[in-house]
Structure 1
Amino acid sequence: MKIRWRLTWYGIGFTALSLAGFIIVIILLVAGASGEDQDKLLAGIADGSADVIESLDAPLELSSSPLVVDANVSDQPFTTVYDDSGAVLHSTGVVDGLPLHLPAAVVVEALSSGQSQADVDGVRVQVRRWENPTLGVGVVAVGQSLRVAKQQVAGLTAFLVIFGVVALVAAGIGAWFMSGRALRPLRLLAETTDEIGATGNLSQRLPPVRQNDEVGALSESFNTMLEGIETARHDRELTIDAQKRFVADASHELRSPLTSIRANAGFLAGNPHASAQDRAEATKDISDEADRMTLLIDSLLALARGDAETDGSEAHIPVDLSGVVRSVQRRARNLAVEVAVQTPDTCIVMGDHAQLAELVWILVDNADKHGGDTVSITVVERQGEVKIVVEDDG
């Protein structure tokens, strides 16, 4: 069952219990008050009747007044006069077709104390003592069916039950709408979560909630969590991109020194009778390229760790450009093309030895793949500027 339905039923249940307690208390109070009101009414009539009888100077006869009230069907009060033995002298009503018969104990109590009350045959009775010089002593009883009080209670009960049903319906509707309003952020949270799961779009957010309660705090916490996840995902994507660049850079940067080492190793293996100078130069190239590889690996590892912070100082150191060109010439010994070099004995420039050598080597390697049979590398120094010219006959 959904939370909204549970909250609605909780509200209806609480309202039902409250209304039931309220209705029970009201009915008990009204039932007591109805009995008291009926007793007051009957007592007033009984007192008046006793006063009237005490002032009479003629005897009462049972048949002198018509019997007009049947307590079985009528709710009207009626009066019955008794002598001191409980015999009926006069009556304006009957119960089951006969005048109301008072128990002897009720008559005795009224004669001794002046008044009494009782429920007799479904009739509420107030009894008063009277004394008349002509008639002697007796009691007068004023009765009314107990249905009166019961009908009042029944009517009130019906009204309260109808009112309770209407109140429960209203409470249910109110609880439904109020719970829906209170749970709206949770519904939006579920919808947003489902949409994020379906689309992977972490930029979505819950709308701001002005409620300063647990639901508002939950919405704010959820948005904060989404922001954190989005940031972490962005950082992860940047890390993956950096790793891809690292692999690409490593593949590119390590290819050239490996090619040079393989070329010089092939030269040494294929030319065992090469001159000592050529062998020394090849060995030096292998050592230089190994050092270069070490430097590249250290730089790439630093880049992978994210701490490769350079200020460009390595690109502004003195480099012998003539030596760079001659090292490329030696690396190209095993290529299909013949590399000719024209360069001054020494040509000092500010730069990075490895990057300059890599640049020249790329041009020579491209000429080997797509050019002719000869590649010339010329270093021209003029008016403080140095130019490297790579040409092929293809």
Structure 2
Amino acid sequence: MKYPYTHILIRYGELALKGRNQNRFIEALMRNIQTRLGSARGIISLHSRRGYILIDALNFAPKDIAGIVRKLCQVCGIVLVSPVLFLKEKKFDAICAMNKKIAEYYPQESKKFCVRVKRADKTYPVSSGELEKKIGQYILENTPWKSVSLKNPDKIFYVDIVDEGVFVYAEKENGVGGLPVGIEGKVLSLLSGGIDSPVASYYLARRGCEVDFIHFTANKMQSDEAREYKIAEIVKILSQYSIHSKLYVLPYIHFNLAVVGKEMDYELILFRRFMVRVAKCLAKKIGAQALVTGDNLGQVASQTLSNIVSTSMAVDIPIFRPLIGFEKNEIIGMAKKINTYDISIQPYKDCCSLISKNPRTSSYNDKLEIIEKNIIENYDKVVEDTLSDAIVLEIKNGSIID
């Protein structure tokens, strides 16, 4: 049976609610679609209409369509994706013929179906309910489908009548929703390699932020080593949503050398304050307006309220914590959904666990500032030396760019 679909229909959600700046959001979404599908065989042609975007797909094989739909579902801003048969003509006979073509592609004599009609074009003279009855009867009389169920159908045939024509389809996939990446500026995410921070980064991408990443390692890495590192694999997955990101891998050896041999308390919270200070300086260089962490209130000792406050007070840049009130099982569920979970649970040397085995659960900014002045003679130089040892990987659409 010949593959029936001629186009891919993309629907966006809250973008349709935007006011005078709606075109800016839609143009950003269309750019991201082009970028995300850059590796797809064949050059796509996009057409934007009210409430949807249409991709010409006449020259694609079914396996190509399936791959394109998969990628589109990862583009932030998209709510639904469907391969469709599109016809500009709205005559009833033509609509029935389109449904017959789609129904014959899914022959199921022992299964039940129903028809769902939506009329965005309210000038169409036949009601949605009447169209559903008539199209359903036509399918029963002219295809292998012989049974209807309105409540529990095995297959639904959709008919959308819009101003520009008619869409007929039987498949639809949910997208991630949200806003197009880049529309809200850039953030820098502190990526630990655990379960939480990749999910936090995903949520910021979904709200329209361009996301770059910073990760701290015990020792300085070479570029080839960083490319094979677990963190790079996580960013490859996240870049399927963030489209185009950079990963900065920095050693924290300069911090260790600055405090070696010195008695101090609050090791972990002091280290976290060091990390956000380095991240703040890097954010300023790359034009990021905020930092992102995977902090979850009360989950571990470093994420008590007082320690979170102490970390925030170390810098004068916003720190977004999108997971702050989540249950752990909610975070795990999303990690599995975006495919970062399996890599996140692989063993690795977590910098925070190496710094302190028994961290304090309570801290105060004033006291921490005094400790920092006493144990680190030239804090700015420690930060600068750390930044100077950065390895930078550029990652786009799931691949490292050479």
**Shared fold (TM-score greater than 0.5)?**
no
Larger RCO (alpha carbons 8 Å, 6+ apart): 2
Normalised TM-score (structure 2): 0.21
Structure that is richer in helix per residue: 1
